[in-house]
């Protein structure tokens, strides 16, 4: 439309000089993303290429400064996968833990977002408390908490004298107090499910502190659902339970996909992750840096595969409302 007007209105001589609006906008778009693109090409891409290069070579630091690399093929990868006895185990355990954590985090954050979206007394206060972990529960604070024997003592009433071993965590004792084993044993639902639920309850603080951003994303999604839909649903006589499953859940399903993927990325790349800590430990060792980059490339590929699987599984069930 605009293109035509420009073409017709401009005199024929200048027709070549004036670029169409679309073209000009496209050029402006390039300018807008230029900071990212330029730095990516100049700084980030060499870093990535270097990292791949390091992972297939042997690194020697020179005394006078500088370093030389020596190509050794897939030696580092072989060492990471077959020589190092811990790496494989830790990765498998980490991935297994994550597969259990994704549903827990996504369901918990969805539930909490629905709760915090309702009008009630003290909503602002609860919201403020719930997002504290987003702000302060990362990086160094998380690292300190991870290696902490203090908290387990403080909230655990049974042990009072420092025995040096750290003891059971407070939340674990919570799960014990509720006697979940007995409860589930009587319900006759398989041991695996029981272990799963007990595990979630034991790690409840971990789950809560990791689902802050997800909660925010769900809240944003809930806000964007038109109230008119709820109103018409109410007039038709739907109960809250039906409204949730027939309206809220489909409308929020794109966010479930986003959150599941975000959870995978976040859990894999946060520094308190057991695999990350292990790779970090390897990095400090002699000759470790190259080995650690090989390991983390293996890890990266696993992350990518897992993201693909999660996205593939969930996107089949996602409902997209046709806008306009």
In the region spanning residues 125 to 164, those forming contacts with other proteins, defined by CB under 8 A, are 126-136, 138-145, 148-151, 153-155, 160-162, 164
Q: How many residues bind other proteins (CB under 8 A)?
A: 105
Which residue among 271, 287, 308, 313 contacts other proteins (CB under 8 A)?
Answer: 271
Q: Rank residues 140 and 188 by Cβ distance to other proteins and give the closer one.
A: 140
Token pair 């809930």 in the structure block, residue: 222
Q: Which stretch binds other proteins (CB under 8 A): 90-98, 177-185, 187-195, 219-227?
A: 219-227
Q: Which stretch binds other proteins (CB under 8 A): 7-15, 91-99, 191-199, 269-277?
A: 269-277
CA dihedral 46, 44, 289, 305 (to 10 degrees): -110
Q: Rank residues 129 and 189 by Cβ distance to other proteins and give the closer one.
A: 129
Interface with other proteins includes 309 (CB under 8 A)? no
Which residue among 76, 94, 297, 310 contacts other proteins (CB under 8 A)?
Answer: 297
Q: Rank residues 29 and 190 by Cβ distance to other proteins and give the closer one.
A: 29
Per-residue binding string, other proteins, 227-266, x by CB under 8 A, is ---------------------------xx-xx---x--x-
Count Cβ atoms below 10 Å from residue 322 Cβ, excluding itself.
4
* CA gap 82, 291 in Å, rounded: 12
Q: Residues, the chain, total? A: 324
Q: Rank residues 158 and 186 by Cβ distance to other proteins and give the closer one.
A: 158
Asked if 264 and 313 touch (Cβ cutoff 8 Å), the reply is no
Scanning residues 16 to 75, which ones bind other proteins (CB under 8 A)?
A: 21-22, 24-33, 35-40, 42-44, 46-48, 50-51, 53-54, 59, 66-67
CA dihedral 130, 135, 139, 142 (to 10 degrees): -30
Interface with other proteins includes 318 (CB under 8 A)? yes
**For the stretch 145-180, what's the b/e string if a residue is b when 16 or more beta carbons lie within 10 angstroms of its beta carbon?**
eeeeeeebbeebeeeeeeeeeebebbbbbbbeeeeb
Q: What contacts 24+ positions apart, CB below 8 Å, involve 144-149?
A: 146/272
Asked if 256 and 110 touch (Cβ cutoff 8 Å), the reply is yes
Note the Cα 205 to chain centre separation in Å.
16
For residue 308, the minimal CB distance to other proteins (Å) is 11
DSSP annotation of 120 reads -
Scanning residues 68 to 107, which ones bind other proteins (CB under 8 A)?
A: none
Interface with other proteins includes 316 (CB under 8 A)? no
* CA gap 81, 110 in Å, rounded: 38
For residue 10, the minimal CB distance to other proteins (Å) is 16
Scanning residues 162 to 181, which ones bind other proteins (CB under 8 A)?
A: 162, 164, 171
Q: Rank residues 191 and 317 by Cβ distance to other proteins and give the closer one.
A: 317
Interface with other proteins includes 290 (CB under 8 A)? yes
Short-list 183, 166, 174, CA closest to 201: 174
**φ and ψ at residue 225, rounded to 5 degrees:** -80, 130
Interface with other proteins includes 219 (CB under 8 A)? yes
Give the max Cα distance, the chain: 91
> Among positive and negative, which fits the CA dihedral 280, 282, 284, 287?
negative
For residue 190, the minimal CB distance to other proteins (Å) is 27
Q: Rank residues 198 and 279 by Cβ distance to other proteins and give the closer one.
A: 279
Interface with other proteins includes 115 (CB under 8 A)? yes
Interface with other proteins includes 224 (CB under 8 A)? yes
For residue 184, the minimal CB distance to other proteins (Å) is 21
């Amino acid at each position: 439309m605009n293109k035509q007007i420009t073409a017709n209105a401009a005199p024929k001589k200048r027709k070549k000089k004036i670029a169409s609006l679309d073209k000009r906008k496209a050029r402006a778009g390039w300018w807008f993303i230029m900071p990212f693109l330029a730095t990516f090409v100049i700084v980030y891409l060499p870093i990535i290429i270097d990292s791949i290069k390091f992972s297939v070579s042997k690194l020697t630091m020179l005394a006078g400064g500088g370093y030389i690399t020596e190509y050794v093929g897939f030696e580092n990868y072989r060492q990471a996968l077959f020589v190092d006895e811990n790496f494989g185990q830790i990765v498998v355990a980490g991935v297994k833990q994550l597969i259990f954590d994704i549903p827990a985090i996504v369901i918990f954050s969805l539930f909490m977002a629905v709760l915090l979206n309702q009008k009630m007394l003290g909503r602002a206060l609860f919201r403020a408390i719930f997002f504290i972990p987003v702000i302060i529960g990362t990086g160094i604070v998380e690292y300190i908490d991870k290696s902490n024997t203090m908290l387990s003592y403080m909230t655990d009433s049974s042990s009072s004298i420092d025995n040096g071993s750290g003891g059971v965590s407070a939340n674990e004792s919570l799960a014990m107090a509720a006697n979940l084993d007995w409860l589930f044993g009587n319900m006759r639902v398989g041991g695996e499910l029981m272990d799963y639920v007990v595990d979630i309850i034991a790690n409840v603080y971990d789950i809560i502190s990791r689902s802050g951003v997800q909660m925010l994303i769900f809240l944003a999604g809930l806000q964007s659902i038109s109230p008119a839909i709820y109103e018409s649903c109410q007039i038709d006589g739907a109960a809250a339970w039906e409204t949730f499953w027939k309206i809220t859940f489909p409308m929020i399903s794109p966010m479930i996909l986003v959150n599941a993927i975000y959870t995978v990325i976040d859990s894999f790349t946060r520094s308190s992750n057991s695999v990350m800590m292990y790779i970090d430990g390897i990095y400090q060792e002699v000759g470790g840096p190259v080995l650690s980059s090989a390991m983390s490339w293996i890890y990266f590929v696993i992350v990518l595969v897992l993201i693909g699987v999660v996205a593939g599984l969930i996107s089949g069930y996602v409902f997209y409302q046709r806008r306009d």
